[in-house]
Chain A
Amino acid sequence: MSELSIVDRWLELSSRSLAQRTSRRGFLGTLGQALVGASVLPLLPIDRSSRAEAAEGHGKPHVDDPKQCEYWKYCAIDGYLCSCCGGTSASCPPGSTPSPITWIGTCHNPADGRDYIVSYNDCCGKTSCGNCWCNRNQGEKPMYRLSLNNDVNWCMANDNPNYHCSVSVILGVAEK
């Protein structure tokens, strides 16, 4: 059998369009195969020291602030937060283009106690934003498991593959 697993085939489709075209149970069932070991993990307290410049606030973690690395949706993000670059946690800054392919994660929202499947699309076509660097790796895997990897340039399939910043888009609630 080809080494192209269901995860890799899934990569060929936009996660958003797949989610829209597939029943939720079927969609999450597919994701369940992709997310072995990555789902339903609690948000762990993380010492990111200087790696997360956006998270250098003191006191309680900024789990509800999309301009902070500790924002709950960013549990496996790697890059500049589009929230600090003219976009939001789910929209690309003006003039940039969303990546049609993506890596995915499962993050816990402490506000409602649910785990959500999120896609970490890159926004592409401009040079790197440089604001609010954030690297978190909950459930992240090396690039041979591509759909769970945040090291590669996910702008790779864009006409202009320049990496600008990263967003985290809710795809649905993770099944427990």
Chain B
Amino acid sequence: MRARRLGVASVGLLLGAAAMAEPPPLATEHLDVAHLPNPSPHWAFVYDMASANQTDARVWIFDGDRYEHLGQIDGGYWPSVAMSADRRTTAVVTTYFSRGWHGTRTDVVEFNDNSTLLPTREIVLPPKRMQGPPSAFAVAYSADERFLYVSNLTPAASFTVVNLATGAIAGEVETDGCVLVIAGGARRVSSLCESGRLLTVTLDEAGHEAGRALSKPFFDADKDPIFVQGQPVGSRVVFLSFLGDVYTVDLSAAEPAFAAPWPMTTAAEHGHWRPSGNQVVAVHAGRKRLYAPMHAAGEGMHKEGGTEIWVFDTESHQRLARWPIDAKRYGPVVAVQITSDEHPLLFAVTETATLLVLDPDTGRLRHAEEKVGQSGWYLVSP
């Protein structure tokens, strides 16, 4: 009997232990929809062309502090994208077809709320918008955000002026073969010309052309063309040339002013190292820093992406650092952007659609997020 009692006691203990170890059931869940707070300066907005299925482009939003995907804004076919100054709105200029991949073409600008990630307003555009490389100049807000300027290419070059106060198309401005829209001053729009000049069109308060002027040539498209993907910095724009010279254009006055270009390469490196990628320059005005993806290569290698990021002082023009990128693991860098706040992050997108989060002082890789879309090649910012 004693043995039996012991056996019963042992079973009881085991059952008690099992009951104690059993976790409580999960709480019931209530399906809801995540809602984002006001956008942080440390969110990366990654333009993804979705190159293998191009009617389905999107902008991915990724938190550079918490390393989390936050959501996506849908972009249609080969969009151009701009962000409002308060970062609360992403304007997506895109093309849709009534039957998905065919049918009636509609060009439209959709204004997406960056918290709900849904369009809250749309304005239909003339069906001639440019489908080309994303940049700050494919579509641009006027400084007061009363107008939106949309690049057109048919292949005749022009731009559409959208009056955001009325929601109407103010008109179309022909640009004599000069391309893209660089907003300057209150009502000026400059375009890049094959002759190395800027064409600057001044608009009136109705968005109609009031005058135009051609600048003197400031670069040589034959000897050393500039990438069109320049970086706006206040009233200035910084461009890089194929061979690695830095061109700064000041658009604050009626006539553009051109600073003397300065080289990123030494004489020995000239022609052997070059900027490479799509978004090839990032500038932090307060810190006076310039970042560029660089590649050791000759002519024809300007879009391969950088295997290093070079850092410069924008005042002294001194090179401060060369940061190697693990290109074998992540692919070369095709886009760079630095956030504009006081404690910035340096973002880089690689050819394999990996988003790198880097320390802008040391180059230390803080995080690598793979597969942010399929073909990211531009980082959107105001």
Q: Residues on A close to B: CB < 8 A? A: 2-5, 7-8, 11-12, 36-37, 41, 44, 46-51, 75-76, 78, 101, 125-128, 130, 133, 135-146, 151-153, 156-157, 160-163
Contact = CB atoms under 8 A, between A and B. Distances in A.
A15 to B, nearest CB: 13
A126 B101 contact: yes
A165 B53 CA distance: 12
A11 B155 contact: yes
A3 B77 contact: no
A128 B95 CA distance: 15
Contacts of B192: 142, 144
The dominant DSSP class at the B interface is loop
Given A49-B332, A128-B53, A157-B154, A4 B176 contact: yes
B246 interface: no
Contacts of B105: 160-161
Contacts of B37: none
Contact of A51 (B54, B228, B351): B351
Interface in B279-307: 297-305
A136 B180 CA distance: 24
B355 interface: no
A44 B299 contact: yes
Given A5-B194, A36-B222, A51-B304, A144 B53 contact: no
Contacts of B132: 143, 151-153
B154 A156 contact: yes
Contact of B227 (A4, A130, A142, A157): A142
B331 A44 contact: no
A58 to B, nearest CB: 15
Given A11-B155, A44-B300, A143 B351 contact: no
B186 interface: no
Given A5-B194, A49-B331, A162-B102, 18 more contacts: A3-B194, A46-B300, A49-B327, A49-B351, A50-B352, A51-B351, A127-B53, A128-B54, A133-B51, A141-B221, A144-B179, A152-B132, A152-B153, A156-B153, A156-B154, A156-B155, A157-B155, A161-B105
B140 interface: no
Nearest to B276: A137
Contacts, number: 142
Given A125-B102, A127-B55, A137-B300, A142 B225 contact: yes
Contacts of A50: 331, 351-352
B195 interface: yes
Interface string B39-52: 00000000000011
Given A2-B177, A37-B222, A151 B133 contact: yes
A141 B225 contact: yes
A5 B179 contact: no
Nearest to A138: B300
Residue of A46, A76, A142, A163 with highest tally of chain B CB at under 10 A = A142
5 contacts: A49-B304, A51-B351, A136-B300, A137-B301, A144-B193
Interface string B319-355: 0000000010001100000000000000000011000
A36 B175 CA distance: 24
A138 B193 CA distance: 21
Contacts of A47: 297, 304
B364 to A, nearest CB: 24
A73 B221 CA distance: 24
A161 B304 contact: no
A140 B300 contact: yes
A4 B158 CA distance: 12
Contacts of B193: 3, 144
B54 A156 contact: no
B178 A162 contact: no
Contacts of B55: 127, 162
Interface string B111-148: 00000000000000000001111000000000000000
A125 B327 CA distance: 35
Contacts of A156: 130-131, 153-155
B201 interface: no
